[in-house]
Amino acid sequence: MLTIKDIHVTVEEKEVLKGVKMEFELWKNYCLLGKNGSGKSSLALTVMGHPSYEVTDGDILLDGQSLKEMEPNERAQQGIFLAFQSIPEIKGVKLFEFLRTIYSAKVGEQITFLAFKKVIEPLIEELHIDRDFLWRDLNVGFSGWERRKIEILQLRLLEPKYIFLDEVDSGLDVDAFRSVATLMKELNNQNNTFIVITHYFSILDYIPVDHVYVLENGKITQEGDVSVAMSIKEKWFEG
Ligand SMILES: Nc1ncnc2c1ncn2[C@@H]1O[C@H](COP(=O)(O)OP(=O)(O)OP(=O)(O)O)[C@@H](O)[C@H]1O
Ligand SMILES: [Mg+2]
Task: Name the residue with the closest Cα to ligand 1, atom 16.
Answer: 39
Domain ranges of the chain: 2-85+160-238, 90-141
d(CA 168, CA 103): 23
Question: In the structure, which protein residues have their CB atom closer than 6 angstroms to any atom of ligand 1?
Answer: 11-12, 14, 16, 34, 36-42, 52, 85
d(CA 197, CA 214): 10
d(CA 212, CA 215): 10
Dihedral sign, CA of 34, 237, 167, 62?
Answer: positive
C-beta of residue 196 within 8 angstroms of C-beta of residue 204: yes
This prediction has a pTM of: 0.95
Which atom of ligand 1 is the closest one to the Cα of 215?
Answer: 21
- Predicted local confidence at residue 239, as pLDDT: 67
CB atoms within 10 A of CB 97: 15
- Predicted local confidence at residue 196, as pLDDT: 97
- Predicted local confidence at residue 219, as pLDDT: 98
How long a stretch of residues is the chain? 239
Task: Name the residue with the closest Cα to ligand 1, atom 26.
Answer: 36
What superfamily in CATH does domain 2-85+160-238 come from? P-loop containing nucleotide triphosphate hydrolases (3.40.50.300)
- Predicted local confidence at residue 214, as pLDDT: 97
CB atoms within 10 A of CB 76: 20
- Predicted local confidence at residue 167, as pLDDT: 94
**AA identity, residue 159:** E
Dihedral sign, CA of 71, 77, 78, 79?
Answer: positive
For β-strands 162-166 and 193-197, DSSP reports them as parallel
- Predicted local confidence at residue 88, as pLDDT: 83
Low-confidence ranges of the chain (pLDDT < 50): none
| Ligand with the closest atom to the CA of 46 | 1
- Predicted local confidence at residue 87, as pLDDT: 84
β-bridge partners, 33: 214
